[in-house]
């Protein structure tokens, strides 16, 4: 439509000449910058007006009546012909002064006491709305996500934000102002017909503009004081969420380690990291922000049903993206201020480790010499090398962090139970990889640098092995002891054995592999302790009577503790 520089344009002036009749005079004194549609015969219009005589006296006004005029243009019109003709070509928000000669108004008869005969009438008209019964919902896509896996279908439940305005631009409602989405089923009659039509086929994150004619909106009833009767509505809609009550958890495996030694089952205890987002990408929670895994049992109802289900069958180190519909998450109520009602949740999961409370130490032999005749056991003194990490490869600690490898006596409670068990039965230079569940490691409390409930992976190498003696003993016989013992111990046959003679005798037994001293303790200290136990009267020598004291009178024969 061409618009001249002047604000006043005269339309179809047929001036009095040779008895010809005057036509309507139109003064367009406000024209909107954008006009997508003009009034045509057959259209329905809604407008405000003031009607005056040429001298300015008012005879009628829609503003005084409190409601605008609504009618169809040029078809069985309810208005005088001149007014019907004067609104043709108008745009919404346009304002016109329409001067109507009497023959296109009330003519020679006038209208009762209000309009005198042959009166020229002047109408000030503001067009508020324009539609046609052939109109459809106009849908304009303002933004659409590139990756759209699903669109709105009938019977889906949707959550969306919107701004609702009239054609003249007046905002009548907004979900943004309420800081809450509008939530509803589609195709069940709970929404405006035009809104349902506009929502179909939308993707999450898509933004559309709907122009809905009145008969697909609130029609002649309007909506309270916000939406007048016969109003065309414009909705700017952003789809936030969509799901169907028939939806199940959707699991997308993004990365899986090879090999997967074991898959999680109900009853396992699992540690995992996660990022939780809504379908529009908004993050609502993250374990990474707390620098702590989420730890729970599987299949026991400790987490939302969708996650409980999605964790079944995972491998350590696996990455999964899980989409959980609301009925398997927090449902219609949501969760406080964190999760809105009826929200679809997306979790990106990284499985750190899992175990079962019944798990034992897993031992995998990496290297073992063929000629291995001597293996580690409880009470042995060993020197070993180790690296400790979590199952996801996070390094925790290593013997390489210290000047020399550690020495420890097995079976004495000096190590975590699982490591002690994993070090037993090893040959010198044997290498193992052992997996230790938390209840045989640092448990629910963890340790310095070790998370709570962590499964530990140890790489072990046995460097040295000294066979030990049973707990509580300082010396054991490897072969039968001399019988009788005292004469063999009394090397100079003087009927008494001082410390020097006792030490020489025991060292001889060790040298000839007849017996073994407690490893890891200075031998002279061990020998002094052994001597003190036998020198019962503490006179500095052992006699045959002291050596032959019966410890338990019900048992036959002499008892010599270590000897």
Name which of 287, 249, 278 is nearest 340 in CA terms. 278
Question: Is 80 part of the annotated catalytic residue set?
Answer: yes
Question: At 193, which helix (H) or strand (E)?
Answer: helix 193-199
Catalytic residue among 25, 80, 234, 382: 80
Question: Is 60 part of the annotated catalytic residue set?
Answer: yes
What is the Cα–Cα distance from 323 to 345, expressed in whole angstroms?
Answer: 6
Residue 128's CB is within 10 A of a number of other CB atoms, namely: 23
Name which of 44, 58, 389, 372 is nearest 229 in CA terms. 44
Catalytic residue among 27, 60, 219, 529: 60
Catalytic residue among 123, 218, 272, 330: 123
* Six token digits for residue 149: 């896996």
What is the Cα–Cα distance from 523 to 528, expressed in whole angstroms?
Answer: 9
The set of residues, in sequence order, having a beta carbon less than 8 Å from that of 442 and lying 6+ positions away, is 416, 450, 452, 454, 456
* Six token digits for residue 3: 């618009």
Residue 226's CB is within 10 A of a number of other CB atoms, namely: 14
* Six token digits for residue 363: 């031992």
Catalytic residue among 44, 47, 49, 486: 49
* Six token digits for residue 157: 């439940």
* Six token digits for residue 282: 């908004």
Burial of residue 37 (number of CB atoms within 10 Å: 0-12, 13-18, 19+): middle
* Six token digits for residue 327: 């009925």
Total H helices, total E strands in the chain: 11, 28
What is the Cα–Cα distance from 527 to 509, expressed in whole angstroms?
Answer: 13
Question: Is 269 part of the annotated catalytic residue set?
Answer: no
Catalytic residue among 11, 27, 53, 59: 59
Question: Is 100 part of the annotated catalytic residue set?
Answer: no
Catalytic residue among 47, 69, 106, 274: 106
| Residues annotated catalytic, as ranges | 49, 59-60, 80, 106, 123
């Amino acid at each position: 439509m061409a618009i001249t520089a002047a604000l006043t344009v005269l339309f179809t002036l047929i001036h009095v000449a040779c008895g010809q009749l005057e036509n309507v005079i139109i003064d367009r004194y406000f024209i909107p910058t954008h006009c997508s549609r003009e009034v045509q015969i057959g259209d329905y219009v809604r407008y405000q007006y003031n009607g005056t005589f040429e001298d300015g006296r008012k005879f009628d006004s829609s503003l005084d009546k409190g409601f605008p005029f609504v009618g169809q243009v040029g078809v069985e019109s309810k208005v005088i012909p001149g007014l019907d003709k004067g609104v043709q070509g108008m745009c919404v928000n346009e304002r016109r002064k329409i001067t109507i000669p009497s023959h296109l108004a009330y003519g020679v008869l006038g209208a009762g006491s209000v309009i005198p005969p042959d009166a020229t009438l002047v109408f000030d008209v503001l067009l508020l709305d324009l539609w046609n019964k052939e109109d459809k919902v106009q849908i304009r896509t303002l933004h659409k996500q590139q990756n759209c896996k699903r669109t709105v279908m009938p019977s889906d439940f949707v959550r969306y934000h919107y701004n609702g305005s009239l054609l003249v631009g007046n905002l009548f409602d907004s979900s943004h102002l309420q800081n809450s989405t509008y939530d509803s089923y589609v195709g069940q009659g709970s929404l405006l017909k035009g809104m349902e039509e506009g929502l179909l086929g939308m993707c999450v994150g898509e933004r559309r503009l709907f122009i809905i004619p009145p008969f697909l909106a609130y029609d002649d009833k309007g909506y309270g004081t916000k939406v007048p009767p016969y109003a065309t509505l414009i909705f700017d809609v952003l789809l936030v969420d969509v799901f169907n009550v028939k939806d199940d958890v959707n699991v997308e495996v993004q990365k899986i380690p090879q090999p997967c030694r074991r898959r999680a089952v109900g009853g396992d205890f699992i540690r995992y990291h996660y990022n939780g987002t809504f379908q529009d990408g908004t993050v609502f929670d993250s374990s990474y922000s707390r620098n702590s895994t989420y730890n729970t049992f599987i299949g026991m109802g400790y987490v939302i049903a969708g996650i409980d289900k999605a964790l079944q069958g995972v491998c350590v180190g696996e990455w999964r993206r899980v989409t959980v519909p609301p009925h398997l998450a927090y449902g219609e109520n949501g969760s406080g201020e964190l999760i809105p009602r009826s929200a679809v949740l997306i979790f990106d999961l990284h499985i750190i480790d899992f175990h079962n409370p019944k798990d034992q130490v897993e031992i995998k032999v990496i290297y073992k010499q063929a000629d291995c005749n001597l293996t580690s056991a409880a009470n042995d003194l060993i020197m070993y090398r180790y690296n400790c990490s979590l199952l996801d490869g996070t390094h925790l600690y290593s013997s390489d962090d210290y000047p020399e490898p550690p020495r420890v006596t097995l079976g004495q409670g000096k190590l975590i139970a699982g490591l002690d068990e994993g070090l037993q039965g090893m040959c010198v230079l044997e290498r193992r990889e052992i997996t230790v569940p938390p209840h045989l490691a640092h448990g629910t409390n963890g340790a310095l640098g070790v998370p709570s409930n962590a499964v530990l992976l140890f790489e072990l190498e046995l460097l040295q092995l000294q066979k030990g003696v049973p707990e509580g003993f300082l010396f054991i016989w490897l072969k039968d002891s001399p019988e009788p013992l005292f004469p063999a111990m009394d090397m100079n046959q003087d009927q008494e054995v001082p410390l020097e003679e006792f030490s020489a005798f025991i060292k001889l037994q060790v040298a000839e592999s007849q017996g073994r001293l407690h490893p890891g303790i200075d031998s002279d200290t061990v020998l002094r302790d052994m001597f003190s136990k036998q020198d019962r009267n503490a006179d500095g020598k052992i006699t045959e009577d002291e050596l032959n004291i019966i410890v338990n009178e019900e048992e036959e024969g002499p008892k010599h503790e270590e000897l």
